[in-house]
Amino acid sequence: MVIYGLATCAICQKARKALEAEGLDVAFRDVRAQPLSTAELSALIEEFGDRLVDRGSNDFRALNDWLKHAEAEAQIAAQPKVMARPVIHYRDRFFLGWDETVRQALLAHS
């Protein structure tokens, strides 16, 4: 299992702790320190589309007008912090966020 997010993201940390507490082997990847490759980003865009960008964040609002209207791939490549988090990859599936639906899906597998 891999969690993609930011080391400073409280929700990412909460997800990681909960999954590890269930005995799951969790790797964490800070997308700011280790940006997603073009192939990785393309796979996530294919899975989540524009939902992968957190348009309500201060980081998104700080983007210039051109980037605000660009494709999600360009936005995340230019400013990884605008990626909605966490993205969790587990058993060939991707999950976005840490809501009740994601928690139930992942913790049921433990």
* Residue 69 structure tokens: 């209207």
CB 26 within 8 A of CB 32: no
- 10 falls within a domain: yes
Residue 2 pairs in a beta bridge with 27, 89
Classified as helix, coil or strand, 3 is strand
- 109 falls within a domain: no
Give the CATH number for residue 49.
Answer: 3.40.30.10
CB 88 within 8 A of CB 94: yes
pLDDT in tens, 7-19: 999 999 999 999 9
- 110 falls within a domain: no
Residue 109 pLDDT level (bands cut at 50, 70, 90): low
Residue 95 pLDDT level (bands cut at 50, 70, 90): very high
User: How many separate domains does the chain show?
Assistant: 1
Q: The whole model's pTM is what? A: 0.92
Determine the structural domain holding residue 52 and report its residue range: 6-14+21-100
